[in-house]
């Protein structure tokens, strides 16, 4: 799958992205629990997308890394598409 094929509120079987930049790691707390979250800019040869990292992923991924997301999810925030692992996906640093 490529960035240009991503549609909000749909599953991602597999996508490989290069991390262009990494934002600040932030703490969050909800009624479901607490943790860390970080937003990155990532790209492939078809375009750029926001990549959301959760908890231990925030420490594992650095700028310039290539990552593979399997069984991920595309969401939308303020009109921008965001891709992440969702509840059941996995992220691998290649």
Question: How far is it between the farthest Cα atoms of the chain?
Answer: 39
Q: Where are the domains of the chain?
A: 3-93
pLDDT digits (tens, 9 = 90+) for 43-93: 999 999 999 999 999 999 999 999 999 999 999 989 999 999 988 999 999
CATH architecture for residues 3-93: Beta Barrel (2.40)
Mean pLDDT of 27-36: 94
DSSP string spanning 45-66? TTEEEEEEEETHHHHH--TT-E
pTM: 0.91
């Amino acid at each position: 799958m490529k960035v240009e094929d991503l549609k909000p509120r749909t599953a991602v079987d597999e996508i490989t992205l290069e991390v262009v930049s990494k934002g600040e790691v932030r703490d969050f707390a909800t009624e479901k629990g607490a943790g860390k979250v970080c937003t990155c800019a990532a790209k492939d040869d078809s375009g750029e997308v926001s990549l959301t990292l959760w908890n231990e992923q925030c420490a594992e991924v650095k700028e310039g890394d290539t990552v593979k997301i399997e069984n991920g999810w595309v969401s939308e925030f303020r009109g921008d598409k965001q891709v992440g692992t969702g509840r059941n996906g996995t992220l691998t640093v290649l």
